[in-house]
Structure 1
Amino acid sequence: MKKRKIELVVLSDVHLGTYGCHAKELLQYLNSIKPKILVLNGDIIDIWQFRKSYFPKSHLKVIRKIIDFTSKGTKVYYLTGNHDEMLRKFSGTNFGNFKLDDKLVLDLDGSQAWIFHGDVFDASVQHSKWIAKLGGWGYDYLILLNRFINWCLHKLGKEPYSFSKKIKGSVKKAVKFISDFETTATELAIEKGYDYVICGHIHEPKITEIENKHGKTMYLNSGDWIENLTALEYNKKRWKLYRYADNKPEIDEELFEMENMLSQTDLTQMLFSQTRLVSRRN
């Protein structure tokens, strides 16, 4: 299968280790591309909701694929979010083509891109973490219930329905929070002179240019791999919002399985060795 060459890919809010994560679809996407730079913009592994009883092989394969990228020349930046905030004590760590940090500034054809997760703008995360964590558990089970409902709707020939999108669209506080989030991010980016500001966190994929009396910037949000299944792609000086539903990659199933055949034990050993290396350097 011919892979698409892309200069930069930004992913966020994958939430590996939760019921809502679409790891198989994400793995298909990752197997269809060959990026020069891959930015993982927070909440990739959901440490908040981590449970020993649930971490499927498909989720481990996503981690393995990311490691494969680094071994084949792709620069991978892992920027921490609130659900993987435990990794922030290792911020600044890098080995080979992999770097762990909290934020990132990239030069893209002479333009400056400011990239960070965005939970710093969320008061519930900063001041009431137990409420935010409780909400995370509730959201995960809501997504699980929603999948069952949509399976039934599919069998009946009906269109799928999103509970969380309905709630976000109907609750005024949720709508205001998203609007305030975007406004705050863009105002700061304009003030700092960045051409692009790239976030995740709110699970709302978007590319839009914002202008105020002080200047303008482009706001981008990579969305998530729970409901929207989206990513940001930068190529030939242009941004594109990739949607899995509109661009399902054609996969040779036999080749797909061969490329990803790695036992859980082998992968765990690989991750353990990488973790020990990080610990030594810190």
Structure 2
Amino acid sequence: MKRKVDLVILSDVHLGTYGSQAKNLVNYLQSINPKTLVLNGDIIDIWQFRKRYFPKSHLQVIKKIISLAAKGTKVYYITGNHDEKLRKFSPVELGNISVLDKLVLNLDGKKAWIFHGDVFDASIQHTKWIAKLGGWGYDFLIVLNSFINFCLVQLGRPKYSLSKKIKNSVKKAVSFVTNFEDTAAELAIENHFDYVICGHIHQPQMREIKTEKGSCLYLNSGDWIENLTALEYHNKTWSLMEYEKQNLALAQEDESVNTEIDPVSLLASIKMMS
């Protein structure tokens, strides 16, 4: 029985990279029946897209999203920095799917401001080549971490996150996350939003932030590389879904998904567009 949810927000899936936990995301999407699904940026990683690497599980995510839209779910695809090529086409509507750069929703009389968040990142705005280089390094780190965790599991030891350890040990990284959250909240408060919802920094979060001008609830949907999290809003209440606590059975691979499907070529052509 699928769980009904009013609103689901997820981000930073990075389809097309080795670190993307696409199979787990398919499992999660198959377990819910959302009225509205918001994909808050970096769903398809056009920066690091490789035509030779786009496995069936990644295509299953796309197919599942399209299937949800066909069955009545309103899908909003908000562009991020890794899929910024899509900003050339936004805003655009394709049936029940809308592609746009930001979104405002009215949730039971309260205003929610939703955007990816790369606008706050100076490395993205001014030195994009450094950000891309960092993305490739992060992808390698995730692959290395996967091998380490495989070994740890075989030895009966708990998994370990290299990137989280690095982030938490570097004061500048911790400071960046805090500044990111505070900046988003301050702008939301100034513009009279009750909720501000971002992705981008791969840091799942739900916290109330107060300033002299008021307060708002800052939310971040995390990612589907390490944290495997999503935001859910149902019956006027927000919650942070953590996949590893859901105990969902691994879904069977959909044999109807054709690995020669044209979306791969389409993504390659989008990447080549100037």
Contact 2:12–2:41 under 8 Å retained in 1: yes
Q: Cα–Cα, structure 1 residues 56 and 210, in superposed 2: closer, same or farther, change >3 Å?
A: same
Partner amino acid for 2:262?
Answer: T
Contact 2:57–2:253 under 8 Å retained in 1: no
CA distance in 1, matches of 2:51, 2:116: 26
**Alpha-carbon shift at residue 158 of structure 1 (Å):** 1.3
Match of 1:62, SS state, is: helix
Partner of 1:262: 257
Matches within 5 A, 1:49-68: 49-68=48-67
Partner of 1:147: 146
Deviations 1:161-197 (CA, angstroms, capped at 9, x unpaired): 1110011101111011001000100000000000000
**Alpha-carbon shift at residue 269 of structure 1 (Å):** 6.9
Partner amino acid for 1:172?
Answer: K
**Alpha-carbon shift at residue 261 of structure 1 (Å):** 2.5
Partner amino acid for 1:151?
Answer: F
**Alpha-carbon shift at residue 250 of structure 1 (Å):** 3.6
**Alpha-carbon shift at residue 213 of structure 1 (Å):** 1.1
Deviations 1:213-266 (CA, angstroms, capped at 9, x unpaired): 100000000000000000000000000100011013246x5xx446x632234x
Matches within 5 A, 1:1-282: 2-250=1-249, 253=251, 256-257=252-253, 261-265=256-260, 267-268=261-262
TM-score normalized with structure 1 length: 0.92
**Alpha-carbon shift at residue 65 of structure 1 (Å):** 0.5
Kindly, what percent of the aligned residue pairs are identical? 65
Gapped regions of structure 1 (runs ≥ 5): 276-282
CA distance in 2, matches of 1:42, 1:248: 26
CA distance in 2, matches of 1:69, 1:52: 26
Partner amino acid for 1:168?
Answer: K
Contact 2:78–2:115 under 8 Å retained in 1: yes
CA distance in 1, matches of 2:263, 2:137: 32
Match of 1:208, SS state, is: strand
TM-score normalized with structure 2 length: 0.94
Partner amino acid for 1:50?
Answer: F
Partner amino acid for 1:216?
Answer: S
**Alpha-carbon shift at residue 160 of structure 1 (Å):** 1.0
Deviations 1:105-126 (CA, angstroms, capped at 9, x unpaired): 0000000000000000000000
CA distance in 2, matches of 1:270, 1:222: 26
Aligned length: 268
Aligned alpha-carbon RMSD (Å): 1.7
CA distance in 1, matches of 2:226, 2:263: 31
Partner of 1:278: none
Match of 2:20, SS state, is: coil
**Alpha-carbon shift at residue 50 of structure 1 (Å):** 0.3
Match of 1:264, SS state, is: coil
Partner of 1:280: none
CA distance in 2, matches of 1:270, 1:7: 31
CA distance in 1, matches of 2:256, 2:238: 33
CA distance in 1, matches of 2:215, 2:185: 8
